[in-house]
Amino acid sequence: MKDNRFKIAPSILSADFARLGAEVEDVIKAGADWIHFDVMDNHYVPNLTFGPMVCKAIRPWTKAPIDVHLMVEPVDSLIEPFAKAGADYITFHPEASRHVDRTLSLIRENGCKAGLVFNPATSLDWLTYEMDKIDMVLLMSVNPGFGGQSFLPETLHKLQECRWVLDQYEKKTGKKILLEVDGGVKIDNIAEIAAAGAEVFVAGSAVFSGKNYEGYKKIINNFRKELDSV
């Protein structure tokens, strides 16, 4: 049974790049909720992936939200192109922007939902003055740049802390801010990650290890079973 509390967002970093449109279509048909789109510039992180043109190319393949994770520096010049390419969420690392408040406003002025991304060492203090401008917090449970890494267990404590902050804010203002986790999410840890407070789960290698629609469906169903126990 699909529990709407939780969203599964496969990262296409682990997809077959030679068949990206079909992979996006298959993984959503297999039961995923969002597409996580990892943008790396070989500057902010030591890896290079894809830009707005590839986002535009996959847009017609699914109606599901495209969750663009910018691991780039600088950030601002890529926001309008990704918004035009069909991004629904745009998240960025606050350390990569000279003016975080202005970058968040730019994302929202371009019609997308905005989020901040926190590396394992990044303090949640960046949230203090920006809660009114963010729609989602993304906690990295690995250091950014590569798929297939192991989940950093200390992220569970940071998730609990962040969950508390977001819940207090929602109680005070009525505004819900989503809490997403990214990196090393697997069948054997997703339940405890959800119990710690996450509600959107990025999973790249775990999902795409399924190789095809049937495989994706099996893996996503197993994720759902684990989440049903939370």
The residues near 16 (Cβ < 8 Å, ≥ 6 apart) are 23, 208
Tell the smallest beta-carbon distance from residue 173 to Zn ion (Å). 27
The helix (H) or strand (E) run that includes residue 125 is: none
Closest listed residue to residue 65, CA positions, set 89, 81, 32, 84: 89
16 vs 132 by CB, closer to Zn ion: 16
- What is the pattern of x (binds ligand DX5, CB under 6 A) and - over residues 156-195? --------------------------xxxx----------
**Annotation marks residue 88 as catalytic:** no
Question: What is the DSSP-derived secondary structure letter of residue 14?
Answer: G
Q: What is the CA radius of gyration of the chain?
A: 16
Tell the smallest beta-carbon distance from residue 71 to ligand DX5 (Å). 6
Active-site residue among 38, 41, 67, 88? 38
If one counts every other C-beta atom within 10 angstroms of the C-beta of residue 117, the result is 23
Q: Are 178 and 199 spatial neighbours (Cβ–Cβ below 8 Å)? A: yes
Question: Which among ligand DX5, Zn ion, none contacts residue 196 (Cβ within 5 to 8 A by kind)?
Answer: none
Burial group, residue 82, by CB count within 10 angstroms (0-12, 13-18, 19+): buried
Size of the site for ligand DX5 (CB under 6 A): 23
Q: Assess 88 for contact with Zn ion (CB under 5 A).
A: no
182 vs 226 by CB, closer to Zn ion: 182
Question: What is the DSSP-derived secondary structure letter of residue 46?
Answer: S
Q: Assess 86 for contact with ligand DX5 (CB under 6 A).
A: no
Q: Assess 94 for contact with ligand DX5 (CB under 6 A).
A: no
List, in sequence order, every residue forming a beta bridge with 117; answer none if it has no partner. Answer: 138
Size of the site for Zn ion (CB under 5 A): 3
Name the one range near Zn ion by CB under 5 A: 48-56, 160-168, 176-184, 213-221: 176-184
Name the one range near ligand DX5 by CB under 6 A: 99-107, 138-146, 170-178, 216-224: 138-146
3-state DSSP assignment of residue 70: strand
Q: Assess 158 for contact with Zn ion (CB under 5 A).
A: no
Q: Directed axis angle between helix 213-228 and helix 20-29, to 10°?
A: 40
Supply 76's token pair: 């601002």
Tell the smallest beta-carbon distance from residue 69 to Zn ion (Å). 4
Query: Which residues in the 36-55 window bind ligand DX5 by CB under 6 A?
Result: 36, 38
Active site residues: 38, 182
Binding site residues, ligand DX5, CB under 6 A:
11, 13-14, 36, 38, 69, 71, 142, 144-149, 182-185, 202-206
